[in-house]
A and B are shown apart, each in its own frame.
Chain A
Amino acid sequence: MAPYLFKRLGQSVLTVFLTISTVFVLIRMAPGDPAAAYAGPLATTEDLAKIRASFGLDRSVVEQYLLFLKGILTGDLGTSYSFRSPALDVVLERLPFTITLAVAAILITTVVSVPLGVWMARRADTTRELGANVVTIAGQSMPDFWSGIMLLTVFAVLIPVLPASGFATWGGLVLPALTVAILQIALISRLVRSEMAKNLTAPYLTVARSRGVSERALVWRYAMTNSSIPVVTALGTRFASMLNGVVVVEVVFAWPGVGSLVVRALETRDYPLIQATVLVTAALAVTVQLLVDLAYPLLDPRVRLGKKVSA
Chain B
Amino acid sequence: MSTALLDVEDLQVELITAGGVVRAVDGVSFTIGEGETVTVIGESGSGKSTTAMAVLGLLPDDLAVLSGSVRFGDTDVIADPKALRGVRGRTVSLIPQDPMTALSPVHTIGRQLVEAVRLRKPDLAKHAAEARAVELLDLVHVPRSADQLGRYPHQLSGGMLQRVLIAIALAGEPRLLVADEPTSALDVTVQAGILGLLLELQESTGIGILMITHDLGVARLVSDRIHVMRDGRFVESGDVESVVDHPSHEYTRKLLSAVPVLGPWDEDDTAGGDR
Contact = CB atoms under 8 A, between A and B. Distances in A.
Interface residues of B, number: 37
Contact of A211 (B88, B97, B107, B156): B88
Interface string B87-131: 011100110111001111111100010011001000000000000
Given A203-B101, A226-B106, A301-B106, A213 B154 contact: no
Contact of A309 (B85, B93, B115, B154): B154
B103 A204 contact: yes
Given A211-B172, A212-B88, A226-B106, A302 B58 contact: no
A208 B104 contact: yes
Contact of B105 (A204, A210, A309, A311): A204
A310 B157 contact: yes
B159 interface: yes
B150 to A, nearest CB: 10
B30 interface: no
B172 A301 contact: no
A14 B104 CA distance: 38
Given A302-B105, A307-B154, A210 B89 contact: yes
Contacts of B159: 311
Contacts, number: 87
Given A310-B157, A311-B160, A213 B119 contact: yes
Given A225-B104, A226-B106, A300-B106, 11 more contacts: A202-B101, A204-B101, A207-B103, A211-B168, A212-B119, A226-B104, A226-B105, A300-B105, A301-B106, A309-B155, A310-B156
24 contacts: A203-B96, A204-B101, A204-B102, A204-B103, A204-B105, A207-B94, A207-B165, A210-B93, A211-B93, A211-B116, A211-B168, A211-B169, A212-B88, A213-B89, A213-B115, A222-B107, A226-B106, A300-B106, A301-B106, A302-B152, A308-B155, A309-B155, A310-B155, A310-B157
